[in-house]
Structure 1
Amino acid sequence: MEHWKRCGVALSFALSGAVTAPAFKEGFESHSEALIGLVGLSFGLLVFALIWRSIAGALMIPIIVGTWYLAYHVATLMGISLGDFLYFPMLLGGLIGGMGLSVCRAISQRESNLAISAKICAAAIASAVALGPWLTQFRLHINSPQGTDQTIRLAVGFAVWQGVMGTLLYILRPAQTPTSKEDLTAGSTRILD
């Protein structure tokens, strides 16, 4: 049964990434920070709804959005300054995203684990490579209109990153084995399902 839940979680995060890609593309082209932020906001809301359903988890949403902005702006600046080495900005953005998610996980679950943080960062870097084809085509055609193919590349890249990261965070969540309703409510900050 757990593997079906994981499949559902992966699909939810992948759809979130794919659905927010056109808004990101529009925000990228029009320099709209609000549209660009929808990617981080949708991811943060899904993490809260599916994984970190607690007051501390809700407080992580703005941190996830802020981490997304930081990763995006650093990757953009690196992409401008590095020229031909197109995948490095995506890798660096992925690392920043992974570090931010590691910090959020440690805070929301009141647990710091270097091995888990390393796994999160490694997965974030590896899955960020999925955004490389979009950046490559963008750089090759920087002075011409970006077509529908670019939207698809972007949607696939965001779907892969959010799908991988959301599923990993779901798998790494602590086991919850309350024995009664009193165990759930007594001194707990968890929000009841």
Structure 2
Amino acid sequence: MTAPMLNRREAFAGALAALWVVPVVAHAQAATAVPAWTPKALSTDEARTLAAACERIMPATDTPGAGAVGVPRFIDRAMADWCEPAEAEGLRAGLASLDAQARAQFKAPFAALTGERQDALLRAAEAEGKAARQPHWFPALRELVTVGYFTSEPGATKALRYDPVPGDYRGCVPLKEIGRAWAT
């Protein structure tokens, strides 16, 4: 027995439904996904929010994004082992605020939002940080994302030009070729 043939309208409606369902399911999975590492300083929900924010601050292009190089884990370790307790608490409070704003405005956790909505919330946090008269969590987060990304091996070798040995090494060069030496 053969299956009934679809007409063009049914096929088009099915294709549109698939285009709508795939992003919705992907965002729902991202919101419930457990981080690939065990957070030391953050809760699982805070780690999800951090991972989503890091990926929007340093997204994947022709080079890997922040999530692919382990920036969220780097920040979590920095918060646990390196940051002053007040700094770590400020970052945690900022992540909680970001997630609370997402839930209030869009009725979903920050990690489950579309990229455009995440960007809008991050731009608002950035503007708030620029206007603040005291230390704000967003500039600290952006700095940690940048440091974590560019000190990772992919960030240093794929995003930046990397030359392990700059210039030619020529030993035993006659002093006549060099001239006077420089002092600094």
TM tier, shorter chain? Answer: under 0.3
Larger radius of gyration: 2
TM-score, with structure 2 as normaliser:
0.28
Higher helix share: 1
With structure 1 as the length reference, what TM-score do the two structures score?
Answer: 0.27
